[in-house]
Amino acid sequence: MELVEESPYRFRIDQHDEMRVPGVVFASRSLLPDVHADKSLEQVVNVATLPGIVDASYAMPDVHWGYGFPIGGVAATDIDTGGVVSPGGVGFDISCGVRLLAADLDRSELQPVLDKLMDGLDMSTPRGMGKGGLWHVSGRSGLAAVLTGGSRYAVEQGHGVARDLERCEDYGAVGDADPDRVSDRAIERGGQLGSLGSGNHFLEVQAVDHVYDERTAEAFGLRTGQICVMIHCGSRGLGHQICTDYIRMMEGAMVEHHIRVPDRQLACAPVSSPEGQAYLAAMAAAANYARANRQVLGEAVRRVFERVTRRGLDLVYDISHNLAKIETHAVDGQQRQLCVHRKGATRALPPGHPDLPADLAGVGQPVLIPGSMGAPSYVLTGVPGAPAFASTCHGAGRAQSRKQAAKSVQGQDPRRQLEARDIAVRGASRRGLAEEVPEAYKDISEVVEAAEGAGLCRRVARMVPVGVVKG
DNA sequence: ATGTGC
């Protein structure tokens, strides 16, 4: 793999063979994937061959090997010139994302009731594989309003307050969701609303330990020493089933649309085709399910928090990092309608962007970066004139597979190691913890430093874990 | 990520 270092945090893979655009990798030298163990840079090249791709096939500093597309990949296609949409460019966990709530409470004030709070969160957070959720909605008729209304519908039904929606991407729901494009099987798997899931999904009590930009932090409602709650989860079995259904559909439709791709996992269809439109409508439904899921979990946290601490929690923001969106961007000086795939990449709107609520217009969109277990998490914001369609990293990014990680910690006790650092742990399985140990991930601080160095975003605040609830 | 692997 020929990588040309263009600047300290930007590498180019020149266009060759079937590539329609170059590849661009935003990373420091030390963050570049090991090409022997991780095929993500090959995947960057493969994505560059997709019909209608514009500008470049991008990789964020946390890039690693994924299904077809790399995780940490951004690719935009031009809708009017046959650009495609690919389920692999969104991922199986459609609209997986992060919600951050902030309390008017300092770490020292929480300490006396921390155990009580953690026990309350332990009780109120369904998690793990295949379990049900807090909000019992099921069947096509029951779920339809969730799939079209997302967090807005959850708030209407009493799971939160109207102000929350001002702090949600798309004000709580994406348009163009169509429940009729969601299979019966996906609907059957939809009875998990208000549940965390497993793997790297978590609910964490955190404390702000560093503020990089006082003015922006203040606009986001954040200050040093403050207690926050971060929720990282997605669309559970429903989103997974939708991804599976449409990969299959598109594998069949590729011949008809005369599309050939170098990897079968890049199955795709023109955005304007019936298959492309159906996928986007089903994907939007899963996105709304994920948003409602985080809304319901966030509201449950709020109730426990109020009972234990007598303080409220304000929503800082809720943002996805696995989604395709139709957006307008300048390409070669012309405004074009693009389908922007962000897979393990976070939208980062700059100050002044029209999609921001008025009170964030001066500072930009909060970008929420969950750390790996035991590591800090970050709040970033967008910057003007950034490359990659206003996108940045989404987390630490795996450095070891789950299997490798579980093997490498044999004989250690990950729970004890967290508790030794005064991090309270609730409910996590040994296997789950083993797969998520810090060694399995890149260094989150290095990742956000590279993202900022590459001109993708700016750091606003850092939070450290106080207590973690995992599946 | 996922009622975990055709």
* Domains of chain A as residue ranges with CATH: 4-399+441-469 (3.90.1860.10)
Partners of A425 in the beta sheet?
A468
| Predicted pLDDT of residue A136 | 95
Nearest nt by C1' to A429 Cα? B4
Predicted confidence band of residue A409 (pLDDT cuts 50, 70, 90): confident
Active site residues of A: 394
Q: Integer distance in angstroms from CA A87 to C1' B5?
A: 21
In this complex, the answer to whether residue A133 has its CB under 7 A from any atom of chain B, a nucleic strand, is: no
Going by the DSSP 8-state scheme, the letter that residue A70 receives in this structure is: P
Say yes or no to pLDDT of A1 above 90: no
Give tens-digit pLDDT for A268-281. Answer: 999 999 999 999 99
The pTM (predicted TM-score) of the whole model is 0.98
Residue A447, token pair as written in the block: 């990742």
Segment A247-253 shows an average pLDDT of 96
More confident position, A217 or A1: A217
In this complex, the answer to whether residue A188 has its CB under 7 A from any atom of chain B, a nucleic strand, is: yes
| Predicted pLDDT of residue A432 | 87
| Predicted pLDDT of residue A403 | 87
Segment A229-253 shows an average pLDDT of 97
| Predicted pLDDT of residue A18 | 97
Give tens-digit pLDDT for A209-219. Answer: 999 999 999 99
Segment A94-109 shows an average pLDDT of 97
Give tens-digit pLDDT for A327-359. Answer: 999 999 999 999 999 999 999 999 999 999 999
Say yes or no to pLDDT of A235 above 90: yes
| Predicted pLDDT of residue A412 | 86
Q: Integer distance in angstroms from CA A234 to C1' B1?
A: 9
| Predicted pLDDT of residue A363 | 98
Q: Are A344 and A388 in contact (CB under 8 A)?
A: no
**Longest C-alpha distance within chain A, in Å?**
65
| Predicted pLDDT of residue A387 | 96
Give tens-digit pLDDT for A186-209. Answer: 999 999 999 999 999 999 999 999
Say yes or no to pLDDT of A410 above 90: no
| Predicted pLDDT of residue A322 | 98
Nearest nt by C1' to A131 Cα? B3
Q: Integer distance in angstroms from CA A67 to C1' B3?
A: 21
Say yes or no to pLDDT of A438 above 90: no
Quickly count: other Cβ atoms within 10 Å of residue A420's Cβ. 9
Q: Integer distance in angstroms from CA A292 to C1' B3?
A: 21
| Predicted pLDDT of residue A121 | 98
Identity at A383, one-letter amino acid code: V
Candidates A222, A158, A143; CA nearest to A190 is: A143
In this complex, the answer to whether residue A391 has its CB under 7 A from any atom of chain B, a nucleic strand, is: no
- If you write DSSP's letter for every residue of A71-90 in order, what string do you get? EEEEEEEEGGGT-EE-GGGT
Output the average pLDDT for chain A. Answer: 96
Give tens-digit pLDDT for A376-406. Answer: 999 999 999 999 999 999 999 889 988 889 8
Predicted confidence band of residue A171 (pLDDT cuts 50, 70, 90): very high
In this complex, the answer to whether residue A92 has its CB under 7 A from any atom of chain B, a nucleic strand, is: yes
Distance CA A209, CA A218 (A): 14
Segment A422-435 shows an average pLDDT of 89
Q: Integer distance in angstroms from CA A18 to C1' B1?
A: 30
In this complex, the answer to whether residue A95 has its CB under 7 A from any atom of chain B, a nucleic strand, is: no
Bases of chain B within 7 A of a CB of the protein: 1-4
Say yes or no to pLDDT of A23 above 90: yes
Q: Helix, strand, or coil here: A347?
A: strand
| Predicted pLDDT of residue A74 | 98
In this complex, the answer to whether residue A449 has its CB under 7 A from any atom of chain B, a nucleic strand, is: no
